[in-house]
Amino acid sequence: MMRLKTEVVTVHTTHPFVIARGGSSEWRVVWVRLIDEDGVEGWGEAAPSRFYGETADTVLAALERLRAIIEGAHASDIELIESAMVTTLRFNAAARCGVSAALHDLQGKRLGVPLWKLWGLTPSASPRSSFTIAIAADEDTLRARVREAVAAGYPILKVKLGSDRDRRIIQLVRDEAPDAILRVDANAAWTPKQTLAMAPLLTELCVEFIEQPLPPTDIDGLRFVRDRCDLPIVADESCLVATDVAKLVGVVDGVNLKLAKCGSLREALRIIHTARAHGMLVMAGCMIETSLGITAAAHLGPLLDAVDLDGAALLRDDPFVGATITNGVVTLPTAPGLGVTRR
Amino acid sequence: MMRLKTEVVTVHTTHPFVIARGGSSEWRVVWVRLIDEDGVEGWGEAAPSRFYGETADTVLAALERLRAIIEGAHASDIELIESAMVTTLRFNAAARCGVSAALHDLQGKRLGVPLWKLWGLTPSASPRSSFTIAIAADEDTLRARVREAVAAGYPILKVKLGSDRDRRIIQLVRDEAPDAILRVDANAAWTPKQTLAMAPLLTELCVEFIEQPLPPTDIDGLRFVRDRCDLPIVADESCLVATDVAKLVGVVDGVNLKLAKCGSLREALRIIHTARAHGMLVMAGCMIETSLGITAAAHLGPLLDAVDLDGAALLRDDPFVGATITNGVVTLPTAPGLGVTRR
């Protein structure tokens, strides 16, 4: 039987992180620890998303509610524990995700292999990660951020749009980063009309794809836009779990999975497999989270087309060391489990 | 680097095994062995299916063609090896399946855990297996077979139909096994009209579902039948790999996966995840194969709604010992890897 321990960890982004819905500089995440009878310990991160009604405090409350399931189970019964958690607490994906990551960390540590190896994957197959350019207060700040990202060697930039200056922003980013691969993310802020109005400029600037232009539930709108737009459309807020992929077939070209949305590393695999069966592009993103959470997602890398795993790179006080990103190249740990240590 | 060794194993069914397409008593399968540098050995079975153009000899030829990929790879790069095999030899699923099973066996043995545990599964969650009642030469033979299955404690019988005496057969089986759960499998032998004509009797006799009533490519026919039939329709010959599941959404109620059709344990997981995302029933079946092949499929049991894993139980000279079936209850091995030994 395992013991569950939780701890709130407060971290700060180097710059205020602002997207279409607002932003902040201080972020509270929950460090989940599962300690097995013999002392072997698995770690996971629960990065709460305000968009889904979560804060560090709701995560802690959710974990208390899940405590009996976790502490009453055998650590190796991962599928069973995850199912029981979903039945007990369908929402609160971040909390469940922290437990799922900790269970997989524990399993890898017990067997003495990194998670990617446990899954039969090859780290070199991981795509390079993008770096996110958040919405800046003014053009000088934006220009400085793009130059910083280019100087840091990121070959792919993901540009947050959904402001009243979107055309200026993307044009400025392209001017400052002429060789970068650009992707844009409107975080559900556009209408179908706005999306189609932006599309020609985005195509002209060689943007690779548009992430979540429309509100999450506007499935008809996404289909409408996709049918009329040259650029691939990728669903983020519209796609939480694998059954959402089923609903998005013929509606979008790809999905962006996040562990904090789907609540489980296994659900992430289910999303990947379902999307692949339908010939859809699959990427993984992240919240603002530490290297503990990022590393869990990074282990999925070899199965993905694109990754956006800069959540920890945006922090100035990341308390964990795990997967690293240099020039966009994701290097997976070789230590057992997630392979994450405390700094 | 691994070495690949192959050996043809000839086995015999206790009774001639006849389905809609014909049958036989003697079966040749291929025993695949992967021997890693340090001598750790993984085993898998390639059970050729004549329906897909395979014989033991085509399997051996396919494995020779795949030898360079396998012997040039690291045993832990399972995803990579499987992708390379598909690229090199898209068909010949049975041959690839033997290698896939051997790679997973090797991984489990190296890590010291049975495959179900490596996958985080709980063996007690496996559904009970059905036992197959093949098409018999006459009613006395059929009656004797059903009595034998009932006496052996099988609670679920899968009745092969697709003969000119289908109504008599299913009535006789129900009379002899009044308490059994019955499923029928027409092995693609019916027309839509015949299926709908049979449906009322099957409903009356409390048959649970109909497997593959129509030819594999008759997708419109399957949809037509499913829309007009009370009983769930399960695709077998129409569903080889996960992309087939995508094509069967809204067409059938479930799919029957077989390792010898999908060519890989990982593809089997992809089929399961895709079907689940669409709310479809998922079962696993088998060919006539030894306990080596059956056990590989049995490790998937905890993820399935139904299993039909009597392939080895139908043999009188099974050379392997692995998963066992008693009263329909599948018991998974606890030894590392597949947990199969030579008798």
pLDDT surpassing 80 at residue B274: yes
Q: Can you say how many angstroms the Cα of residue B271 is from the centroid of all Cα atoms in its chain?
A: 13
Per-residue pLDDT of chain A (343 residues; tens, 9 = 90+): 899 999 999 999 988 887 777 778 889 999 999 999 999 999 999 999 888 889 999 999 999 999 999 999 999 999 999 999 999 998 899 999 999 999 999 999 999 999 999 999 999 999 999 999 999 989 999 999 999 999 989 999 999 999 999 999 999 999 999 999 999 999 999 999 999 999 999 999 999 999 999 999 999 999 999 999 999 999 999 999 999 999 999 999 999 999 999 999 999 999 999 999 999 999 999 999 999 999 999 999 999 999 999 989 889 999 999 999 999 999 999 999 999 999 9
Contact criterion met (CB < 8 Å) for B242 and A118: no
Are B265 and B296 contacting, i.e. CB atoms less than 8 angstroms apart? yes
**8-state DSSP, A288:** S
Short-list A159, A156, A150, CA closest to A129: A156
Helices (H), A255-302: 259-262, 265-277, 291-298
**8-state DSSP, A155:** S
On whether any CB of chain A is under 8 Å from the CB of B72, the answer is: no
Short-list B187, B125, B176, CA closest to B149: B176
3-state DSSP assignment of residue A212: coil
Phi-psi region of A133 (alpha: psi -120 to 50; beta: other; left: phi over 0): beta
Question: Residue A302: which residues within 8 A CB-CB, separation 6 or more?
Answer: A116, A121, A122, A123, A124, A125, A126, B79
pLDDT surpassing 90 at residue B72: yes
Interface probe, candidates B239, B273, B303, B304, chain A, greatest A C-beta count within 10 A: B273
* Amino acid making up residue B87: T
Calculate how close chain B gets to A244, using CA atoms only, in Å: 8
- Three-point CA angle B280, B282, B283, nearest 5°: 155
On whether any CB of chain A is under 8 Å from the CB of B10, the answer is: no
Mean of per-residue pLDDT scores for chain B: 96
Neighbours of A321 (CB within 10 A): 17
Interface probe, candidates A34, A69, A77, chain B, greatest B C-beta count within 10 A: A77
On whether any CB of chain B is under 8 Å from the CB of A117, the answer is: yes
Q: Interhelix angle for A93-111 vs A291-298, to 10°?
A: 70
pLDDT tens string B281-313: 999 999 999 999 999 999 999 999 999 999 898
Contact criterion met (CB < 8 Å) for B122 and A279: no
Residue with tokens 């932003």: A23
DSSP state string for A57-106 = HHHHHHHHHHHHHHHTS-TT-HHHHHHHHHHH-SS-HHHHHHHHHHHHHH
Q: Mark which residues 240-269 of B lie under 8 Å from A by CB.
A: 242-243, 245-246, 249, 266, 269
Contact criterion met (CB < 8 Å) for A112 and B111: yes
| Whole-number Å distance between alpha carbons of A112 and B118 | 12
Contact criterion met (CB < 8 Å) for A274 and B277: yes
Question: Residue B106: which residues within 8 A CB-CB, separation 6 or more?
Answer: B2, B34, B36, B40, B41, B42, B75, B337
Interface probe, candidates A87, A105, A111, A251, chain B, greatest B C-beta count within 10 A: A111
Q: Residue B115: closest CA among chain A residues belongs to which residue? A: A118
Nearest to A80 among B107, B112, B125 (CB): B125
For B116-140, what is the mean pLDDT?
95
Are A252 and A226 contacting, i.e. CB atoms less than 8 angstroms apart? yes
Interface probe, candidates B81, B122, B272, chain A, greatest A C-beta count within 10 A: B122
Calculate how close chain B gets to A234, using CA atoms only, in Å: 19
**8-state DSSP, A337:** B
Instruction: Report the predicted TM-score, pTM, of the whole model to 2 decimal places.
Output: 0.96
Tokens standing for A27? 């972020």
Neighbours of A334 (CB within 10 A): 11
In this prediction, residue B23 carries a pLDDT of: 75
- What is chain B's Cα-based Rg? 19
Contact criterion met (CB < 8 Å) for A120 and B276: no
In this prediction, residue A90 carries a pLDDT of: 87
Domains of chain A: 3-112 (3.30.390.10), 117-342 (3.20.20.120)
Tokens standing for B148? 């034998």
Short-list A324, A325, A328, A330, CA closest to A343: A324
What residues are paired with B255 via a beta bridge?
B235, B282
pLDDT tens string B84-115: 999 999 889 999 999 999 999 999 999 999 99
3-state DSSP assignment of residue B96: helix
Contact criterion met (CB < 8 Å) for B79 and A270: no
CB-based burial label for B90 (10 Å; 0-12, 13-18, 19+): exposed
In this prediction, residue B47 carries a pLDDT of: 96
Tokens standing for A260? 């904090």
| pLDDT above 70: percentage of residues in chain B | 100
| Whole-number Å distance between alpha carbons of B267 and A39 | 36
For strands B254-257 and A306-307, give the pairing. unpaired
Sign of CA dihedral B15, B21, B26, B30: negative
Residues from chain A contacting residue B245 (CB–CB below 8 Å): 277
Contact criterion met (CB < 8 Å) for A117 and B76: yes
Helices (H), chain A: 56-71, 78-88, 93-111, 115-118, 139-151, 166-176, 192-204, 219-228, 242-247, 259-262, 265-277, 291-298
On whether any CB of chain A is under 8 Å from the CB of B303, the answer is: yes
| Whole-number Å distance between alpha carbons of A160 and A305 | 20
Residues from chain A contacting residue B267 (CB–CB below 8 Å): none
Residue B233: pLDDT band with limits 50, 70, 90: very high
In this prediction, residue B16 carries a pLDDT of: 81
Contact criterion met (CB < 8 Å) for A246 and B245: no
In this prediction, residue A270 carries a pLDDT of: 98
pLDDT tens string B216-231: 999 999 999 999 999 9
On whether any CB of chain A is under 8 Å from the CB of B124, the answer is: no
In this prediction, residue A22 carries a pLDDT of: 75
pLDDT surpassing 90 at residue B69: yes
Nearest to A111 among B113, B121, B246 (CB): B113
Nearest to B278 among A104, A117, A246 (CB): A246
Interface probe, candidates B86, B245, B278, chain A, greatest A C-beta count within 10 A: B278
Per-residue b or e along B216-253, where b marks 16 or more CB atoms closer than 10 Å to that residue's CB: bebbebbbbbbeebebbbbbbbbbbbbbbbbebbebbb
Per-residue b or e along A263-289, where b marks 16 or more CB atoms closer than 10 Å to that residue's CB: bbbbbbbbbbbbbbbbebbbbbbbbbb
| Whole-number Å distance between alpha carbons of B179 and B164 | 26
**Distances in whole angstroms, Cα of residue A277 to Cα of each of A201, B80, B300:** 32, 18, 19
**How many residues belong to chain B?**
343
Backbone angles phi, psi at A249, to 5 degrees: -65, 125
Nearest to B273 among A118, A125, A274 (CB): A274
On whether any CB of chain A is under 8 Å from the CB of B34, the answer is: no
On whether any CB of chain A is under 8 Å from the CB of B103, the answer is: yes
**8-state DSSP, A279:** T
